Structure 1
């Protein structure tokens, strides 16, 4: 975990400089492209005017199949296309680079969540045992007989269970966007938090979405979205395909 955090932090610190270089190159390419396009437009306008004058003077046959731009004008147009392709490739590289950092951040958050779960699972049995022991001992002094002892143990067990759930919820969910609910092994789980269904949920409109359903709080929603909605993973994949 420590090595992963160090690597993630190092990559994150290098991100601004790398993106700045790519954006600077994009600006240079765009400046060159605009200059070539301006020159090409002037050249083509002049050649069109020369052709018109040649047709009027009878020096050029007015046959559109034989009239064409000069090789210089065509070369400028081809060069413009090459620069535009370079700009597109550079933009895709920048997008993929940021997307890779986002995926690494998701992995980092997942590891943190797993560590928190292991800590809660380790602390919960000790808390339950301590609560049961304390409540049972205090109950024996005030109640007598089998009925009183049985009642004391039952109340202590219920109070300890309530305390365990309250502590787990407070520790694992400081923002209120994720509930630490006891999960039935046979009950399906959903969302980025990998919890069971509860409260308001929304479905991703990507039919191939691996998760499908999400809790409002986990995706930052307060009310139902009008129209189609995509989770962050599917939205990133969709934008990447559209960019290419």
Structure 2
């Protein structure tokens, strides 16, 4: 099937990293016909990713922790595209430390970038979708760390778990308007950054993959395809749910 999101306007945050989940998601949505706006705090990176996708892809600088920045980005998208149909809250950071090494600043920064940005995005996205009156789909990129406990991942996990439940509540608030809100929970995904790190540390790669039932790390495209499904009308009766993409990791 082609053109699964044809005619729709999408915003994907945190899409500036080469080989990252945001870039892969934006590319997949564009391949299926959407006009895609990529945003990132990295100006050069997001412009490069938009240029690689080409066509109807656009890159914008965007600090997802700023309410003003969200208002500006959404206003530009609505002005040019007539509305917003798909919002992918992908931007995030990870500071992975055991509790004794985790500072209040580490904790606060992860909550701000991973959780507060999702709140600001959902609030702005819902307003734009309600104004257009044609429903919409919001997909929050959480993590398997938002579902199960992992040592050294406490603050990151808290932010991702919070994003999951925040989205469920918004799904109930917006269901009558046809605005769907779901979360995607990737496991170990071979992003560009991880590819470089594991190339230098093949023994670590073997240790990681040995713990995954499918015996391999996922590809960013695996996550992008899940987002595509949730963004499309094929998922018209799906809201307030979470979708795990982890090769069976959390089924153990």
TM-score normalized by structure 1?
0.23
TM-score normalized by structure 2?
0.22
Larger C-alpha radius of gyration, 1 or 2? Answer: 1
Q: Comparing both chains, which one has the higher relative contact order based on Cα–Cα distances under 8 Å and sequence gaps of 6 or more? A: 2
Q: Say which structure is richer in strand.
A: 2
Q: Say which structure is richer in helix.
A: 1
